[in-house]
């Protein structure tokens, strides 16, 4: 997990937990990911930046300077972000304050805001295989290649993995939600579970409440939707309420595909003793990187925390991109049969590439499809989040938290800065600040607010 370190400003999970009086023990992951790529290119992304650079320079000695320059640009962005107090970029008093304190850092971020990682990589690197490796580096974050991945997003993850490092919460990632919930309740909040919002209630153009599937209604001064923007504006609000800004967003971004997820329990002896926790597999052809089922992600959390499985067993979470269209219109029987068939093919590929004997070592298996993502996360088409329709101008086109509907805010991965736990935590912090200002809990200037929101809206039209 990103965001779990004890230093810097980007450790937003640590900060969120601390805000409600909680702390989770973590296990440092020595290798963020182990890439297994075409032409037998194998790269381990070590926790120590110098070890990672040494490994990649060893593989591409003729590109040493380009490698140092590209990742060096990432560090410039990361260091700028990491030096700022992260709050709402839609709040002008805060923005001016930060600009006054850290002008160079703010200008650095503004310079990179409309740029993509692939273009910057091409300034320094010529080797096509190395550029494809950088595509894979970006793909595992954004599910698109480097030319479509905003440089700011790429830099956040390509550097934080070395700065704060990847840290695994003891007891599994579910502990984060459990701890946050416990802390929030202790601080006086109330959390309703199994509360399915079916409508956002709008009165005279202002969002004033929500209606649940069981008919209950709740009213509030502020409504914050953590559903995707497609769900918020396509399902929870009536279509006639679609603001112009959302129309523009839906023109610039499409829904990224979902995933096929295979959870298996295996006999531990099948894994070599030094197996890493995270793997990314693309066997033969770089062209398959972005294709459905083209590449395989694998996490083995029990490598880090053996308490998650019975003694002598490991857990594997295997996943690959998959679209909901592939799974619709099937009878129950055909759907189940297809799950088995597709999962079997993926497991066979892993067996061939990484772990001989994997199939016969499986003691438990469960397969989830894009429909599973849609059902349990209430995400339209089970989408992973927004994906630029064309080449984006970096992050310029991504909406922040305010919406065209008074009183309604959006948060999560279809807001700036996008997908990934660290990014959505940032979006949450930004939203809390903007809402705090609108509720009078933080300083606010209505005149400056209106000017900034107009400016940001105009900038988005340029993306
Ligand atoms: C297979 C997979 C692996 C990933 N691995 C990583 C990783 O290793 N590192 C990383 O940083 N990121 C990873 N990600 C990405 C990360 O999980 C997401 O970007 C992040 O969880 C998105 O957060 P969110 O709050 O925007 O949306 P969600 O996590 O989808 O949360 C939205 C919540 O809102 C609830 N909700 C939605 N609609 C309603 C409604 N109408 N009523 C009530 N509740 C509702 C949902 O139930 C859900 O709990 C991974 C994603 C996937 C799919």
Q: What CATH number has the domain bearing residue 351?
A: 3.30.519
pTM for this predicted structure = 0.93
Q: How far apart are CA 1 and CA 168, in angstroms?
A: 6
Per-residue pLDDT of the chain (463 residues; tens, 9 = 90+): 888 988 988 899 999 999 999 999 999 999 999 999 999 999 999 999 999 999 999 999 999 999 999 999 999 999 999 999 989 988 999 989 999 999 999 999 999 999 999 999 999 999 999 999 999 999 998 889 999 999 999 999 999 999 999 999 999 999 999 999 999 999 999 999 999 999 999 999 999 999 999 999 999 999 999 999 999 999 999 877 788 888 888 888 999 999 999 999 999 999 998 999 999 999 989 999 999 999 999 999 999 999 999 999 999 999 999 999 999 999 999 999 999 999 999 999 999 999 999 999 999 999 999 999 999 999 999 999 999 888 888 888 889 999 999 999 999 999 999 998 889 999 999 999 999 999 999 888 888 988 888 888 888 887 7
Question: Domain check: are 401 and 297 in the same one?
Answer: no
Atom nearest to 258 CA in ligand 1: 53
Q: Which of 272, 459, 236, 446 is nearest to 355 (CA)?
A: 272
Closest protein CA for atom 27 of ligand 1: 412
Atom nearest to 412 CA in ligand 1: 26
Closest protein CA for atom 8 of ligand 1: 1
Domain membership of residue 438 (yes or no) is yes
Question: Domain check: are 248 and 390 in the same one?
Answer: yes
Q: How far is the centre of ligand 1, averaged over its atoms, from the C-alpha of 378 (Å)?
A: 10
Closest protein CA for atom 47 of ligand 1: 377
Q: How far is the centre of ligand 1, averaged over its atoms, from the C-alpha of 419 (Å)?
A: 9
Q: How far apart are CA 78 and CA 69, in angstroms?
A: 14
Q: How far is the centre of ligand 1, averaged over its atoms, from the C-alpha of 62 (Å)?
A: 40
Q: How far is the centre of ligand 1, averaged over its atoms, from the C-alpha of 255 (Å)?
A: 14
Closest protein CA for atom 3 of ligand 1: 319
Distances from the Cα of 353 to the Cα of 42, 281, 358, angstroms = 12, 8, 10
Q: How far apart are CA 126 and CA 403, in angstroms?
A: 42
Atom nearest to 299 CA in ligand 1: 8
Identify the domain containing residue 457 by its residue range: 192-254+383-461
Question: What SS3 class is residue 209?
Answer: strand
For residue 175, what are the contacts with CB-CB under 8 A and spacing of at least 6? 24, 169
Domain membership of residue 74 (yes or no) is yes
Question: Domain check: are 250 and 267 in the same one?
Answer: no
Which of the listed residues 381, 396, 428 is the one where a domain comes to its end? Answer: 381
Question: Domain check: are 269 and 220 in the same one?
Answer: no
Which of the listed residues 338, 354, 381 is the one where a domain comes to its end? Answer: 381
Q: How far is the centre of ligand 1, averaged over its atoms, from the C-alpha of 124 (Å)?
A: 35
Helix (H) or strand (E) holding 408: strand 408-410
* 237-254 as b/e: b if 16+ CB within 10 A: beeebeeebbebbbebbe
Counted domains in the chain: 3
Closest protein CA for atom 43 of ligand 1: 196
Domain membership of residue 232 (yes or no) is yes
Q: How far is the centre of ligand 1, averaged over its atoms, from the C-alpha of 388 (Å)?
A: 19
Question: Domain check: are 149 and 264 in the same one?
Answer: no
| 331, 334, 339, 341: CA torsion to nearest 10 | -170
Task: Considering only the C-alpha atoms of the chain, give the largest distance between any 2 of them, rounded to a whole number of Å.
Answer: 67
Atom nearest to 195 CA in ligand 1: 43
Q: How far apart are CA 388 and CA 395, in angstroms?
A: 10
Location of structure tokens 């970006």: 138
Domain membership of residue 394 (yes or no) is yes
Q: Please count the CA atoms within 13 angstroms of the CA of 347 that sit on its side-chain side.
A: 23
CA 25 to chain centre: 22
Domain membership of residue 174 (yes or no) is no
Q: How far is the centre of ligand 1, averaged over its atoms, from the C-alpha of 53 (Å)?
A: 31
Q: How far is the centre of ligand 1, averaged over its atoms, from the C-alpha of 375 (Å)?
A: 12
Burial grade of 199 (CB within 10 A; 0-12, 13-18, 19 or more): middle
Pocket test for ligand 1, best of 154, 216, 227 (most atoms within 8 A of CB): 227
Domain membership of residue 444 (yes or no) is yes
Q: How many residues does the chain have?
A: 463
pLDDT of residue 240: 77
Pocket test for ligand 1, best of 233, 371, 424 (most atoms within 8 A of CB): 424
Distances from the Cα of 46 to the Cα of 129, 238, 295, 392, angstroms = 20, 49, 21, 30
Closest protein CA for atom 48 of ligand 1: 377
Question: Domain check: are 392 and 447 in the same one?
Answer: yes
Q: How far apart are CA 55 and CA 67, in angstroms?
A: 11
Q: How far is the centre of ligand 1, averaged over its atoms, from the C-alpha of 100 (Å)?
A: 35
Question: Domain check: are 366 and 403 in the same one?
Answer: no
Question: Domain check: are 225 and 290 in the same one?
Answer: no
pLDDT of residue 339: 97
Atom nearest to 319 CA in ligand 1: 1
Question: Domain check: are 73 and 219 in the same one?
Answer: no
Domain membership of residue 58 (yes or no) is yes
Question: Domain check: are 374 and 416 in the same one?
Answer: no
Distances from the Cα of 143 to the Cα of 1, 39, 269, 330, 397, angstroms = 17, 22, 32, 26, 18
Q: How far is the centre of ligand 1, averaged over its atoms, from the C-alpha of 377 (Å)?
A: 7
Question: Domain check: are 323 and 404 in the same one?
Answer: no
Which of the listed residues 329, 349, 381 is the one where a domain comes to its end? Answer: 381
Domain membership of residue 211 (yes or no) is yes
Closest protein CA for atom 10 of ligand 1: 420
Question: Domain check: are 276 and 374 in the same one?
Answer: yes
* Ligand 1 pocket, residues with Cβ under 6 angstroms: 2, 196-197, 226-227, 231, 259, 261, 319, 377-379, 384-385, 412-413, 419-422, 424
């Amino acid at each position: 997990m990103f965001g779990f370190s004890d230093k810097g400003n980007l450790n937003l999970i640590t900060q969120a937990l601390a805000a409600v009086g909680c702390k989770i023990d973590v296990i440092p992951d020595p290798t963020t990911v182990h890439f297994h790529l075409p032409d037998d290119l194998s790269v381990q992304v070590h926790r120590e930046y110098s070890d990672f650079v040494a490994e990649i320079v060893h593989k591409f000695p003729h590109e040493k300077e380009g490698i140092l320059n590209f990742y060096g640009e990432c560090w410039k962005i990361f260091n700028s972000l990491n030096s700022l107090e992260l709050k709402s970029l839609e709040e002008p008093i805060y923005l001016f304050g930060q600009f006054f304190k850290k002008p160079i850092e703010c200008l650095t971020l503004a310079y990179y805001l409309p740029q993509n990682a692939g273009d910057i990589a091409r300034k320094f690197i010529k080797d096509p295989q190395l550029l494809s490796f950088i595509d894979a580096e970006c793909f595992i974050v954004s599910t698109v290649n480097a030319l479509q991945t905003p440089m700011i997003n790429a830099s956040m993850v390509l550097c934080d993995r070395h700065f704060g490092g990847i840290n695994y919460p003891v007891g599994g990632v579910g502990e984060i939600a459990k701890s946050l919930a416990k802390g929030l309740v202790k601080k006086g909040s109330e959390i309703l579970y199994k509360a399915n919002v079916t409508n956002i209630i709008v009165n005279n153009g202002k969002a004033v409440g929500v209606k649940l599937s069981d008919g209950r209604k709740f009213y509030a001064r502020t409504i914050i939707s953590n559903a995707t923007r497609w769900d918020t504006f396509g399902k929870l609000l009536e279509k006639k309420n679609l603001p112009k800004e959302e129309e523009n967003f839906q023109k610039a971004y499409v829904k990224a595909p979902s995933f096929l997820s295979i959870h298996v329990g295996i006999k531990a002896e099948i894994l070599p003793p030094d197996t890493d926790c995270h793997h990314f597999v693309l066997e033969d052809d770089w062209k398959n990187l972005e294709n459905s089922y083209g590449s395989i992600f694998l996490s083995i959390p029990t490598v880090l925390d053996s308490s998650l499985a019975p003694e002598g067993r490991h857990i594997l979470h295997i996943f690959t991109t998959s679209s909901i269209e592939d799974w619709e219109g099937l009878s129950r029987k055909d759907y189940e049969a297809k799950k088995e068939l597709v999962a079997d093919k993926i497991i066979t590929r892993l067996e061939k590439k990484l772990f001989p004997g994997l199939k016969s070592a499986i003691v438990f298996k469960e397969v989830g499809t894009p429909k599973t993502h849609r059902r349990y996360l209430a995400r339209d088409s089970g989408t992973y989040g927004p994906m630029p329709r064309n080449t984006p101008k970096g992050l310029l086109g991504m909406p922040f938290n305010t919406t065209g509907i008074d009183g309604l805010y959006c948060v999560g991965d279809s807001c700036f800065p996008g997908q990934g736990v660290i990014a959505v935590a940032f979006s949450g912090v930004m939203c809390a600040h903007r809402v705090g200002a609108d509720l009078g809990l933080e300083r606010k200037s209505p005149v400056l607010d209106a000017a900034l929101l107009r400016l940001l809206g105009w900038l988005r039209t340029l993306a």
